[in-house]
């Protein structure tokens, strides 16, 4: 199989050289193969970078291949950097799945919640399968891709003061991938959305917010584990950025429908997302301590101390709730009622019964010494 691939590449190179009049009619097959192999070995100068497009044609779909050929015909070739990015992304695809099954499964609950909570803001009936499946492929792929990057990012975080650094962390594959795409990890997703005419400046910005969140998460969690200073500004920025994927999905749904974003809805949902993220952090607090994941309560304990942190967090929640109530009253009455019902459903499904739409606010017992807690849990389970 490997020999067949090599032969196919040689044949493509010969075809390319012939199109550029680099071969003579008197050239023998053996000399043509020699030149083709030589060019493949020396694939680096500006002419041969153009040839790399020919070598990767088989990796494109027919639709994409047609678009590439149109660009080649008019000498409107991508620049060298674009060719290198494309070729490198293809080589990554050969060695690893860009989106794994585990990430798709993890994304599934988010997609279900998004459909049930956000479709109403688009006038879509979530009880009708055609409303979901019409938009599901793009939404599902996008969320799964984000979960893939999020998983790799979390795998780079140490879980104790003795944990390895990023260069030799828990997931070497994740390290390799993120180092390779350290400047632009969302580039493949951006390129796909752009080709589908779905990319907007606002979607790009939200995806950049995701990259910023992952960087902040690494920064804050490393600082926490190493006893370094943590700024409340960074923490509040991170918790607000954390729901970027919901905003990306929401903006994509507007694009898929050919509609403009409704700013009041976006503002309301942003506050709702903040409260949901805080609620999730309180629910996942112990697990986040064990895994050294970003968690607003963990950060507040470091900044304010174990005795003051709960009250400071309660203050943030109260301020957000006030804004939430004001914006909720500004919505269309039927939409407001539908969203209240959805929140009540989600609360019941989470095992809570509460007058508050997002459930009762229960702040867990603060873990003062996280390293001791991790060691105890580890010894109890070993």
User: And the tokens for 40?
Assistant: 């493949």
Rg (alpha carbons) of the chain, rounded to whole number: 26
Q: Map out the domains of the chain as residue ranges.
A: 2-23+31-81, 101-381
- 12-16, 25-29, 45-49, 361-365: least confident range: 45-49
**Residue 44: predicted pLDDT:** 52
**Percentage of residues in the chain having pLDDT higher than 70:** 68
Dist CA 154 CA 151 (whole Å) = 5
For residues 303 and 309, the answer to whether their CB atoms sit within 8 Å is: yes
What confidence tier does 53 reach under pLDDT thresholds 50, 70, 90? Answer: very low
Residue among 6, 8, 38, 9 at smallest CA distance from 22: 38
- Statement: residue 295 has pLDDT above 70: yes
DSSP for 126-193 reads TTSHHHHHTTHHHHHHHHHHHHHHHHHHHHTS-SSTT---GGG-S-HHHHHHHHHTTT-TTHHHHHHH
**Residue 1: predicted pLDDT:** 57
Dist CA 268 CA 244 (whole Å) = 14
CB neighbour burial string for 281-319, b if at least 16 within 10 angstroms, e if fewer: bbebbeebbbebbbbbbbbbbbbeeeeebbeebeebbee
Torsion angle in degrees (nearest 10) through CA of 288, 109, 98, 240? -50
- Statement: residue 249 has pLDDT above 60: yes
- 127-136, 160-169, 301-310: least confident range: 160-169
- Statement: residue 97 has pLDDT above 90: no
- Statement: residue 32 has pLDDT above 90: no
- Statement: residue 209 has pLDDT above 70: yes
Per-residue pLDDT of 54-95, as tens digits, reads: 444 443 444 444 443 343 343 444 444 444 444 444 444 444
User: And the tokens for 356?
Assistant: 């508050």
**Residue 245: predicted pLDDT:** 97
Output DSSP code: residue 168.
Answer: G
- 38-52, 127-141, 190-204: least confident range: 38-52
Stated pTM of the model? 0.71
Say which residue the tokens 């429908």 belong to.
Answer: 257
Neighbouring residues of 117: CB distance < 8 A, sequence distance ≥ 6: 339, 342, 346
């Amino acid at each position: 199989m490997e020999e067949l691939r090599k032969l196919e590449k040689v044949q493509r190179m010969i075809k390319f050289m012939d199109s550029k009049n680099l071969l003579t009619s008197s050239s023998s097959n053996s000399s043509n193969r020699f030149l083709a192999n030589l060019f493949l070995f020396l694939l680096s100068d500006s002419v041969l970078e153009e040839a790399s497009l020919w070598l990767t044609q088989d990796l494109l779909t027919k639709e994409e291949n047609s678009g590439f050929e149109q660009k080649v015909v008019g000498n409107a070739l991508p620049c060298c950097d674009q060719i290198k990015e494309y070729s490198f992304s293809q080589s990554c695809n050969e060695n690893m799945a860009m989106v794994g099954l585990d990430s798709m499964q993890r994304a599934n609950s988010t997609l279900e919640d998004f459909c049930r909570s956000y479709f109403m803001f688009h006038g879509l009936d979530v009880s009708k399968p055609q409303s979901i499946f019409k938009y599901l492929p793009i939404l599902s792929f996008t969320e799964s891709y984000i979960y893939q990057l999020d998983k790799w990012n979390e795998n780079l975080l140490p879980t104790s003061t003795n944990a390895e650094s990023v260069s030799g962390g828990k997931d070497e594959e994740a390290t390799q991938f993120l180092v390779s795409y350290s400047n632009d990890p969302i580039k493949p997703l951006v390129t796909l959305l752009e080709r589908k005419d779905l990319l907007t400046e606002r979607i790009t910005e939200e995806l950049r917010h995701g990259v910023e969140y992952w960087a902040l998460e690494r920064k804050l969690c490393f600082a926490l584990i190493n006893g370094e200073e943590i700024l409340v500004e960074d923490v509040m920025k991170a918790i607000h950025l954390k729901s970027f994927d919901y905003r990306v999905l929401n903006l994509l749904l507007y694009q898929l429908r050919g509609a403009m974003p409704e700013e009041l809805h976006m503002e309301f949902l942003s506050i709702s997302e903040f409260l949901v993220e805080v609620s999730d952090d309180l629910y996942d607090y112990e697990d986040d301590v064990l895994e050294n994941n970003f968690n607003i309560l963990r950060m507040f304990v470091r900044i304010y101390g174990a005795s003051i942190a709960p009250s400071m967090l309660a203050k943030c929640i109260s301020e957000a709730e006030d804004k939430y109530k004001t914006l909720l009253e500004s919505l269309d009455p039927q939409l407001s009622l539908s969203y209240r019902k959805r929140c009540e459903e989600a609360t019941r499904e989470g095992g809570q019964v509460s007058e508050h739409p997002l459930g009762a606010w229960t702040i867990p017992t603060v873990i003062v010494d996280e390293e001791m807690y991790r060691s105890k849990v580890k010894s109890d389970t070993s």
